[in-house]
Structure 1
Amino acid sequence: MARPGTKQLFLLFTLSYAIFAVAGKSYYDILQVPKGASDELIKRAYRKLALKYHPDKNPGNEEANKRFADISNAYEVLSNSEKRGIYDRYGEEGLKQHAASGGGGGMGVNMHDIFSSFFGGGKMEEEERILKGDDVIVELKATLEDMYMGGTLKVWREKNILKPAPGKRRCNCRNEVHHRQIGPGMFQQMTEQWPNSHVVCCFGGASYSPIFLSQVCEQCQNVKYEREGYNLTVDIEKGMQDGQEVVFYEDGEPIIDGEPGDLKFLIRTAPHNRFRREGNDLHTTVTITLVQALVGFEKTIKHLDDHSVDIGSKGITKPMEVRQFKGEGMPLHLSKKKGNLYVTHDVLFPTSLTVDQKSKIKELLA
């Protein structure tokens, strides 16, 4: 049998990468950025997620530690142009082969070293202050089925977009340091942003604080706001908590000479006609007859993914008795574990009894 040629090997490698890409989340998904994201956007995404899932903020939380490791690994690759190029073409397996050949890879990185080099220390650091537009917070209702199995929601979004406009604009594009006398021999240093052009006024040989005149800057292009709309796809992950955020970085309100704010969807659980959610547990109520309550019954209920749960009983069931079914509740987010299902039994009593029925009941129960 002939050995496969270079073209065949390449096709096999490409196919294996395609299978890998379908099987798990990509580094772009982990950092919640699009594939064509700029280096600056990748930096900001890493900064926010690393601060959120850092072990110092989540002591004893194994899922957060795993998420932090995934975030660090994704950033280590996507922040390196060479590794990012290899990853985009050949996936994680390509990085492993690149590392094996002596080129250095994106696997087995020290997540704390990455965090330390990025923030300047191994301990938690405060996020740097940057001029940002307003965050937009939207409550979004998801069905209990989507929260149980995972799903997507389509959302129409309208926001202001900064567009170039004719001419120049007034701006504060240069820092100026000046001093103000606040008492005999006492001066206060102040740093403020001023326009490029200013006039210093002097009277009688004595210098006073500069009088700055706001003028149109020759370097800063004029801009205008335009309203635009587009569709967004919001991923509902299996087991997400009620009120959990899904963040679209830099998709909030824009601001001139700064970064746009973020768009944050607060995922709320929509009311359900059969189940009620409390944390990771589910609650439901079933109605049984008085005879079923006394002699037992066979009954199943349909779960959120349509699988059947046997809730029958061979014993006596008291009115409003609650029974627990372990592992039949909501899945825990980013975990294989599940909460519990609690079934409350509502016993349906007859509205009336005949004399003969009363006599027989007395005879039986006596």
Structure 2
Amino acid sequence: MTYKDYYAILGIPRDATQEEIKRAYRRLALKYHPDRNPGNKEAEEKFKEISEAYEVLSDPEKRAIYDVYGYSGLKSSGYKGFEDVSDIFKTFSDIFEEFFGFSFEEKTQTKPRDGADLSYEVVLDFEDLFQEKRINLEIEKFEICEVCKGSGYDPQKGVRICDVCNGKGRVTYTEGFFRISYTCPDCKGRGTIYIEKCPKCKGSGKVWRKKELEVIVPAGIEDGSILRIPKEGEPGLFGGKPGDLFLRIKVKPHRYFYREKNNVIGQLKINFISAILGDKVRIPYFGEELEINIPAGIQPGEEIVIEGKGLPDIKTGKKGNLILKVQVEIPKKISKEGEKLLKKFAEIEGIKDFVNELSINQKDSKKKKERFWEKFIFGNK
């Protein structure tokens, strides 16, 4: 008997929640749905496979049997899976309606049905956050069939009154005092029968489409934010409202800068001479060049704040600050001449105790030089 790893089929961990299971199935159902892959037998088989996995893992009882006894335990309990795609549509009529706004089966009534919401991820570079950005987004979704206008039947052939229920949509069965009324199995409660289903949408009332949208992303938006685009989800049927499009923002990390609220944080590497004497340096900064004033005697770890050069607040537009954390670079090697000058400087400044450590013995000279620089820059600790 072939082993089936339903968790691997849906791409989820074994401790996945019901919400994670449903989300994984929706994503794969969109990818392998027969309407999106006409004539593709491989996609059809994959659609059946993921639907079988979802049927088992979304049912607590079946899932418990599967987790303990595996696929063979399910088979022994009488589980048969799906014979064909139509079985899937019948079984998951409600879930497909939740996912896509319709169930791929004729409904029992034509009351308005709202369309499903859609969710997409938008990836931005860090520099995109400094100003409003317009992006062209291509989305894939179902839209109302232009041939049948969402009715599902061939407009050239029309419909006829259902012979079984005489157009009432329900059938009544009476035996003695017992009476039961149920939805007409032929017309599914419509009261009419398609003479022929729409050749374009095969009776669903919707077709798969790619659509391009121009989306405006506001300046200063944060990673993980959600943008709602009204009425750009799946269309409704029979007068139902269209769903919304939700865009989850993902900001790629920058090599040199990161964000804290609306402030931009980075490091400024300077040499020890600039740290002692002060300096002016120019740095490239997202399309401009900034002149940074380094005060004399600045210490490692101190911050230089440039006001108004951070990110704009998404509501007020007020900009945060650029905060540069100073990192003093200590040279690992210096020339003989440089060493003499530094010794002289140390003598002038009265730090002979440091200088004496430089040349006691050749074996320890490297470590002692490093200690000298540490004390020279960072001071005694």
- Tell me the TM-score normalized by structure 2: 0.49
Q: Is 1:200 aligned with 2:172? A: yes
Give the equivalent residue in structure 1 for 2:153. 166
Give the C-alpha shift of residue 305 in structure 1: 4.5
| 1:250 alignment partner, one of 231, 237, 242 | 231
| 1:152 alignment partner, one of 134, 147, 172 | 134
- Superposed CA offset, 1:70-127 (max 9, x none): xxxxxxxxxxxxxxxxxxxxxxxxxxxxxxxxxxxxxxxxxxxxxxxxxxxxxxxxxx
| 1:267 alignment partner, one of 222, 244, 249 | 249
CA distance in 2, matches of 1:141, 1:341: 23
CA distance in 2, matches of 1:133, 1:196: 27
Give the C-alpha shift of residue 214 in structure 1: 3.0
CA distance in 2, matches of 1:220, 1:358: 98
Q: Is 1:304 aligned with 2:275? A: no
Root mean square deviation of aligned Cα: 2.8
Q: Is 1:211 aligned with 2:182? A: yes
CA distance in 1, matches of 2:193, 2:293: 74
**1:166 partner amino acid:** Y
| 1:141 alignment partner, one of 80, 101, 123 | 123
Give the C-alpha shift of residue 270 in structure 1: 2.8
Q: Which 10-residue stretch deviates more, 280-289 or 156-165?
A: 156-165
**2:228 partner amino acid:** V
CA distance in 2, matches of 1:349, 1:158: 56
Matched residues, number: 210
| 2:305 alignment partner, one of 309, 324, 327 | 324
- Tell me the TM-score normalized by structure 1: 0.51
Secondary structure of 2:343 counterpart: helix
Give the C-alpha shift of residue 219 in structure 1: 5.8
Moved over 4 A (4+): 218-222
| Structure 1 residues 328 and 253: alpha-carbon distance in aligned structure 2, compared to 1, 3 A threshold | same
Give the equivalent residue in structure 2 for 1:363. 347
Q: Which has the larger radius of gyration?
A: 2
CA distance in 1, matches of 2:287, 2:261: 18
CA distance in 1, matches of 2:317, 2:227: 21
Secondary structure of 2:214 counterpart: strand
Secondary structure of 1:311 counterpart: strand
The unaligned stretches of length 5 or more in structure 1 are 1-129, 170-194
**2:264 partner amino acid:** L
| Structure 1 residues 162 and 361: alpha-carbon distance in aligned structure 2, compared to 1, 3 A threshold | same
Q: Is 1:288 aligned with 2:267? A: no
Q: Contact 2:114–2:237 at 8 Å: present in 1 too?
A: no
Q: Contact 1:138–1:265 at 8 Å: present in 2 too?
A: yes
| Structure 1 residues 267 and 211: alpha-carbon distance in aligned structure 2, compared to 1, 3 A threshold | closer
Q: Contact 1:234–1:246 at 8 Å: present in 2 too?
A: no
**1:349 partner amino acid:** I
Secondary structure of 1:250 counterpart: coil
Secondary structure of 1:146 counterpart: helix
Q: Is 1:340 aligned with 2:312? A: no
| Structure 1 residues 364 and 232: alpha-carbon distance in aligned structure 2, compared to 1, 3 A threshold | farther
Q: Contact 1:280–1:339 at 8 Å: present in 2 too?
A: yes
CA distance in 2, matches of 1:299, 1:341: 15
CA distance in 2, matches of 1:348, 1:312: 17
CA distance in 2, matches of 1:211, 1:226: 31
Give the equivalent residue in structure 2 for 1:174. none
Secondary structure of 1:229 counterpart: strand
| Structure 1 residues 346 and 140: alpha-carbon distance in aligned structure 2, compared to 1, 3 A threshold | same
| Structure 1 residues 251 and 360: alpha-carbon distance in aligned structure 2, compared to 1, 3 A threshold | same
**2:269 partner amino acid:** T
**1:197 partner amino acid:** G
Secondary structure of 2:243 counterpart: coil
Q: Contact 1:286–1:343 at 8 Å: present in 2 too?
A: yes
Give the C-alpha shift of residue 256 in structure 1: 4.0
Give the C-alpha shift of residue 131 in structure 1: 4.5
CA distance in 1, matches of 2:214, 2:193: 35
